[in-house]
């Protein structure tokens, strides 16, 4: 069984599917997978960005290189709950994620620049990002329920299924709960495959059998464009108003 890691290098493939299709997919692949250490859990994220949302705007422009900064917790945190300050980068289709584990309150202080934090390579990378981008601060909270699995014959291969995705742009302290605006319909699921190498045949066959097709859906990107639609439709020149970028 894979343990908790702080450094990742992999391909991430995303799929939108109905609840029924997602259940059928899990039945198809059940001989090949096991629940990972987190199993069923609630993911609570807070995304950091500049005052003009530079990071997400660049991401929606389909660049060869893009990066994000976020704070992640598993469940609604308290001051002392484990939290992860994460830098997530994508270059030529490969995702690189590096994260620093701290108690929630200390993590928020570190990301605000008010705490020196630990002396580690990942901490230095996060400090560099905080210094490079002007005025990075919390901009959007995202919450969702996740079921996570790993492949029996390849612990590097992970499969996650997210539902009840919600977001908000006010009251961004993750300790305050999971209230927010729904991002997807109740019948939709977001599947993600996290793969270090080639996709195994049993997995490709299950996707084909269940008629689940790839997309490049971005939770933060969709929430950002939703906000633009609510303020001024003329701003939706970004990616033609679509999050599928």
Q: Kindly report, residue by residue over 145-178, the tens digit of the pLDDT.
A: 999 999 999 988 999 999 999 999 999 999 999 9
Please tell me which residue, 117 or 137, carries the higher pLDDT value: 137
- pLDDT of 238: 44
Residue 2 has pLDDT above 70, yes or no: no
Whether residue 131 is contained in a domain is answered as: yes
Q: What is the pTM (predicted TM-score) of this model?
A: 0.90
Buried b (16+ CB within 10 A) or exposed e, 198-230: eebeebeebbeebebeebebbbbbbbbbeebee
Please tell me which residue, 37 or 84, carries the higher pLDDT value: 84
Residue 213 has pLDDT above 80, yes or no: yes
Q: What CATH number should be reported for the domain holding residue 41?
A: 3.20.100.30
Whether residue 241 is contained in a domain is answered as: no
- pLDDT of 89: 94
- Range of 140's domain? 7-235
Whether residue 166 is contained in a domain is answered as: yes
Number of domains in the chain: 1
Q: Tokens standing for 232? A: 């001024």
Quickly state the pLDDT bin for 228 (edges 50, 70, 90). Answer: confident
Integer Cα distance of 45 and 84 in angstroms: 9
Whether residue 28 is contained in a domain is answered as: yes
Residue 4 has pLDDT above 90, yes or no: no
Nearest to 12 by CA among 232, 190, 239: 190
Whether residue 20 is contained in a domain is answered as: yes
Whether residue 242 is contained in a domain is answered as: no
């Amino acid at each position: 069984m894979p343990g908790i890691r702080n450094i990742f290098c992999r391909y991430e493939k995303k799929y939108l599917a109905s609840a029924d299709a997602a259940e059928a997919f899990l039945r198809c692949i059940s001989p090949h997978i096991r629940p990972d250490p987190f199993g069923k859990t609630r993911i609570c994220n807070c995304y950091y960005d500049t005052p003009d949302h530079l990071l997400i705007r660049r991401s929606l422009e389909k660049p060869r290189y893009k990066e994000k900064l976020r704070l992640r917790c598993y469940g609604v945190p308290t001051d002392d709950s484990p939290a992860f300050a994460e830098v997530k980068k994508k270059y030529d289709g490969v995702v690189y994620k590096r994260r620093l584990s701290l108690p929630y309150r200390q993590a928020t202080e570190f990301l605000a620049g008010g705490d020196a934090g630990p002396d580690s390579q990942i901490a230095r990378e996060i400090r560099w990002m905080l210094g490079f981008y002007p005025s990075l601060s919390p901009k959007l909270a995202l919450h969702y329920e996740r079921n996570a699995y790993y492949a029996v014959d390849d612990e590097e291969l992970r499969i996650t299924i997210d539902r009840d995705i919600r977001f908000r742009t006010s009251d961004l302290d993750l300790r305050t709960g999971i209230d927010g605006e729904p991002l997807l319909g109740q019948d939709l699921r977001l599947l993600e495959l996290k793969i270090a190498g080639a996709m195994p045949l049993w997995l490709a066959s299950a996707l084909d059998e269940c008629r689940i097709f790839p997309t490049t859906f971005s939770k933060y990107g969709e929430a950002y464009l939703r906000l633009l639609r609510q303020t001024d439709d003329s701003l939706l020149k970004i990616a033609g108003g679509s999050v599928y970028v």
